[in-house]
């Protein structure tokens, strides 16, 4: 099924009262500017003019102007990005669909660290678990990016960058009220004290809500309202030890509680959902001559509890990440980004239908990667990279990136990108009662090309991108060894394009419009069908 979408975005948030000590930042005109510096596309700071990838930036100024919205609301205004369930009750799980790819094929990062949920079938992260008050900036990298980021970066990467303590101490207090009995309070502190930086943000959201399901047209039944509560805490700490060593720590906690329904036309009383997530990250930045090395260790735990009229289920996922990356200039025209990473996953699940325990439902991955970035005075740029991934269950696999681009007069950028990516089987797909230890990772090849044209400096920008993505060994539910199980049996072919225009006539007024088209086909052993329903 084909999907056409055209959108002109304007926002009017909840009625609100806000007290801010300190001045709001000026309008950031460089959201799509070629001079905008991004980190997600190369895992090191680079101007958009120096990279041949499609990166959309949601700036701190845009987030400040989105009072009354949630993070899924804001992400839903990006070309080619759809948040499934965003118009439903806030308590419903939100799935990320980028350029038509299925849920779980877009990697979510918090401050550059993956935050998958090891307890669910796809391994996807529920984006609603991040309170928008704690976010400083978001970078959306489109296209296959497994060379730099590993598994799940098939359609792209969303990097959520949290607020840090920078500059003079600032306290912010916010309040909001809206329909459906909605009340929100937030308190934030950020500042720098000598060589120590601190950022703390706390928020609380309560909503009486509404029923996602509706009665049948011929029924006069009244469905109960499904309430939603969100409590979030974010702490960022930085310490400069010397000119060559900086330490940092990051703690994120979120609790979502909600009432749920039982599908279309079916109300559900006493059906509740309680999700708690913890993210703890420790890192260091070490200056090595003219290069930089970053070392990160993180622990991500997600606990999902469901209670359907006294029938409880609990799903816990734990992921430990450790990685070290090096950015080093080999010459004036050539940089190297390389590194290695280790990831350990386990899940503990207790349901009326069975259980999974961490001692048997666990695996690990080790990866090494390198990317070379070439930049000439004539405007030609090139990234060449590869990654070797070793999985404890299925073995090893390789990915690559070939990404040339050309910059003309510092205003017009042409680019092409040929890359491969992969998504490893989830713990549930491997070890549950329907598990299959012979599963291979889903593998993809993506081609994209286009241009980015700054028609008027910092005032008018036009961009176009075309993509073609082929996915092999798509995991589905079928027959394996005489029983129903997860198997590699399908292929997916997607293609489309995006046109974006941003105009900023003045510092107080801007317009963003886009047209996005996606066309996809699922191929099985017996038939093919158009399957992009969103």
Closest CA to 532 of 504, 494, 498: 494
Encoded tokens for 188:
């934030």
- If one compares 533 and 5, the residue with the highest pLDDT of the two is 533
Report the pLDDT averaged over residues 442-456: 95
User: What DSSP string describes 198-266?
Assistant: EEEEEEEEEE----SS---TT----PPP--EEEEEEEEEEEEEEETTEEEEEEEEEEEEEEE---STT-
* The model scores a pTM over 0.85: yes
pLDDT category at 263 given cuts 50, 70, 90 is low
- Percentage of the chain lying above the pLDDT 90 cut: 61
- Percentage of the chain lying above the pLDDT 70 cut: 92
Position 220 scores a pLDDT of: 73
pLDDT category at 264 given cuts 50, 70, 90 is low
Report the pLDDT averaged over residues 199-225: 81
Per-residue pLDDT tens digits for 26-85: 334 344 467 788 898 888 888 888 899 999 999 988 888 887 788 999 999 999 999 987
What is the rounded distance in angstroms from the CA atom of residue 390 to the CA atom of residue 367?
6
Position 9 scores a pLDDT of: 35
What is the rounded distance in angstroms from the CA atom of residue 72 to the CA atom of residue 95?
9
Q: Helix count (H) and strand count (E) of the chain? A: 4, 30
Closest CA to 391 of 341, 458, 318: 341
Per-residue pLDDT tens digits for 41-58: 888 888 888 899 999 999
Torsion of CA 175, 254, 157, 24, to 10 degrees: 20
Closest CA to 461 of 10, 6, 31: 31
Cα-based distances in Å from 172 to 79, 133, 194, 221, 359: 31, 10, 21, 45, 45
Per-residue pLDDT tens digits for 320-355: 999 999 999 999 999 999 999 999 999 999 988 888
Report the pLDDT averaged over residues 244-254: 95
Whether the per-residue pLDDT at 532 is higher than 60: the answer is: yes
Position 525 scores a pLDDT of: 77
Whether the per-residue pLDDT at 527 is higher than 70: the answer is: yes
- If one compares 248 and 533, the residue with the highest pLDDT of the two is 248
């Amino acid at each position: 099924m084909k999907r056409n979408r055209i959108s002109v975005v304007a926002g009017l948030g909840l009625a609100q009262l806000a007290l801010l000590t300190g001045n709001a930042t000026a309008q950031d005109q460089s959201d799509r500017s070629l001079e905008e510096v991004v980190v997600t596309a190369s895992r090191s700071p680079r101007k958009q003019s120096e990279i041949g990838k499609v990166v959309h930036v949601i700036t701190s100024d845009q987030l400040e102007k989105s009072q009354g919205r949630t993070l899924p609301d804001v992400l839903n205004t990006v070309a080619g990005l759809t948040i499934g369930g965003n118009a439903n009750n806030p308590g419903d799980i939100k799935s990320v669909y980028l350029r038509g790819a299925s849920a779980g094929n877009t990697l979510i990062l918090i401050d550059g660290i993956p935050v998958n949920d090891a307890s669910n079938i796809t391994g996807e992260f529920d984006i609603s678990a991040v309170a928008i008050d704690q976010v400083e900036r978001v970078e959306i990298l489109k296209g296959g990016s497994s060379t730099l980021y590993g598994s799940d970066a098939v359609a792209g990467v969303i990097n959520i960058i949290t607020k840090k303590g920078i500059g003079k101490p600032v306290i912010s207090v916010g309040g909001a009220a809206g329909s459906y009995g909605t009340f929100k309070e937030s308190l934030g502190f950020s500042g720098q004290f000598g060589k120590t930086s601190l950022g703390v943000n706390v928020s609380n959201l309560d909503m009486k809500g509404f029923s996602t399901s509706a009665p049948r047209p011929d029924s006069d039944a009244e469905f109960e309202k499904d309430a939603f509560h969100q409590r979030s805490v974010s702490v960022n700490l930085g310490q400069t030890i010397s000119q060559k060593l900086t330490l940092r720590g990051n703690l994120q906690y979120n609790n979502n509680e909600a009432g749920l329904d039982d599908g279309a036309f079916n109300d559900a009383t006493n059906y509740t959902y309680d999700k708690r997530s913890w993210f703890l990250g420790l890192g260091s930045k070490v200056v090595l001559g003219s290069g930089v090395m970053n070392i990160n260790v993180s622990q991500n735990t997600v606990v999902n509890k469901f209670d359907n009229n006294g029938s409880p289920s609990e799903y816990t996922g734990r992921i430990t990440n450790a990685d070290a990356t090096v950015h080093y200039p080999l010459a004036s025209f050539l940089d190297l980004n390389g590194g290695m990473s280790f990831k350990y996953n386990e899940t503990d699940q207790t349901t009326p239908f069975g259980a999974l325990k961490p001692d048997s439902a666990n695996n690990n991955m080790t990866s090494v990667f390198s990317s070379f970035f070439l930049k000439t005075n004539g405007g030609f740029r090139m990234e060449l990279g590869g990654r070797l991934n070793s999985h404890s269950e299925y073995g090893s696999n390789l990915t690559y990136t070939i990404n040339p681009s050309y910059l003309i007069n510092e205003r017009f950028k042409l680019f092409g990108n040929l890359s491969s990516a992969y998504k490893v089987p989830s713990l549930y797909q491997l070890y549950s009662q329907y598990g299959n230890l012979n599963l291979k990772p889903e593998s993809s090849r993506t081609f994209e090309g286009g241009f980015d044209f700054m028609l008027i400096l910092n005032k008018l920008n036009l961009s176009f991108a075309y993509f073609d993505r082929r996915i092999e060994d798509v995991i589905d539910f079928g027959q394996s060894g005489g029983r129903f199980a997860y198997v590699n049996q399908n292929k997916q072919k997607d293609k489309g394009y995006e046109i974006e225009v941003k105009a900023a006539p003045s510092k107080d007024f801007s317009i963003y419009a886009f047209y996005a088209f996606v066309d996809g086909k699922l191929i099985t052993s017996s038939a093919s069908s158009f399957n992009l329903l969103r």
